[in-house]
Amino acid sequence: MPQLSLHTPLGEVTLSEEDGAIVALDWGRGSEQEATPLLREARDQLHDYFDGRRVQFQLPLAPHGTPYQRRVWSALRAIPAGETRSYAEIAREVASHPRAVGQANGRNPIPILIPCHRVVAANGALGGYSGLDGPETKRYLLALEARSLNLPFPSSF
């Protein structure tokens, strides 16, 4: 499986491609490096995101997961940049329970590109994050998007 690593403000991340789609974004540097056209485009879009020049990604994604997880991940992709949704709101959208949404959210194999960081607790609290430095990484990503869109960043985060 072709992989390409890149440096971000959050450290190294590695993108993986399979059958013409991105299937994973992992924290850390991958051992195998192969710069396919799709991985180079994903790298460039991520650089633009971290530089504040992009908030939406135009990439084919094919995360591996159960049908339920893929429904949740699809709902996450519909959350506009600069906005958040609660686990309960996503649960209503996919006819589920907030805890199950949280579990699917935590298993998201393509963080950032599938914006699991945009999901917060029903009371507006930041909530957890399964990637890198946990809630600090989530806070960083939400603040980055707010700055990119010239939006205020909630002090509750």
Supply the residues annotated as catalytic: 116
The DSSP result for 80-99, as a single string, is PTT--EEHHHHHHHTTS-HH
68: left (phi over 0), alpha (psi -120 to 50) or beta: alpha
Strands 11-18 and 3-8: antiparallel
Close Cβ partners of 69 (under 8 Å, ≥ 6 residues apart): 63, 104, 107
Residue with tokens 């790298």: 43
